[in-house]
Structure 1
Amino acid sequence: MGVRTANVQDGNIGDTLYGLADVIHGRRDASPDTSYTAHLLQPEMGDKLLSKLAEESSEIIMACKDNDHDHIRYEMGDLLYHLLVVAEKYGITLDELAGELNARRK
């Protein structure tokens, strides 16, 4: 588990996700030696990225079992970040994902 985030304020999830997706997209061309995101986007890092999804999912489960609100939120942030890296790696836009979710509501 990482260090808990201090002074968390509510925000707009749409703005936040689009902003983070833009940052991740911008890191595609960064040096993998200086950017964790660029490192994860390297073709040979596919298994590492998938293992990070499994790790973060497990950490959310454990935080839920502990009924630890702040820890759940923290781990959800980690998982969403790694999911957005997966989306960037495989060319899935947030609008496409929204379309998938919207289609399921009908």
Structure 2
Amino acid sequence: MAEHTKPPLDALTRLAATIESRKGGNPNESYVAKLLDRGPDYAARKLGEEAVETVVAALAGSDEELVGEAADVIFHLAVLLAARDLSIHDALAELDRRDGVSGIAEKAARARS
């Protein structure tokens, strides 16, 4: 894979800003605006499609195909979050909150809630 020249979190910040700037935009001129215009249900279905394509790439595709599909999942996840007036940064903050917590303990705590 290619060497990274920009920090990956910068890409997420730019993605979140682009999505936010496309809210309320012309669906005929912006794919993001088109997804957002169709609502969270549509955005969720698109994320599901991309997730399935990612699984297929993981099982039978090349590394490049898997990385491309993974990027599509991240993009569509960010759009879905925006459709619910959230941001990819909200998901990252949740990951930060979980840092250092055992996955088993974290899941058990959610089950008790």
| TM bucket, shorter chain | 0.7 to 0.9
Q: CA deviation at 1:19?
A: 0.4
Pair 1:50-2:61 in alignment: no
Unaligned runs of 5+ in 2: 102-113
TM-score (norm 1): 0.81
Highest CA radius of gyration, 1 or 2? 2
RMSD across aligned positions (CA): 1.9
Which of these residues, 71, 74, 95, is aligned with residue 101 of structure 1?
Answer: 95
Runs of 4+ aligned residues of structure 1 deviating over 3 Å after TM superposition are none
Aligned residues: 99
Which of these residues, 25, 35, 44, is aligned with residue 30 of structure 2?
Answer: 35
TM-score (norm 2): 0.77
Q: CA deviation at 1:53?
A: 0.9
Q: 1:74 to 1:95 in 2, by over 3 A?
A: closer
Q: 1:94 to 1:62 in 2, by over 3 A?
A: closer
Percentage identity across paired residues of the two chains: 27
Unaligned runs of 5+ in 1: 1-6
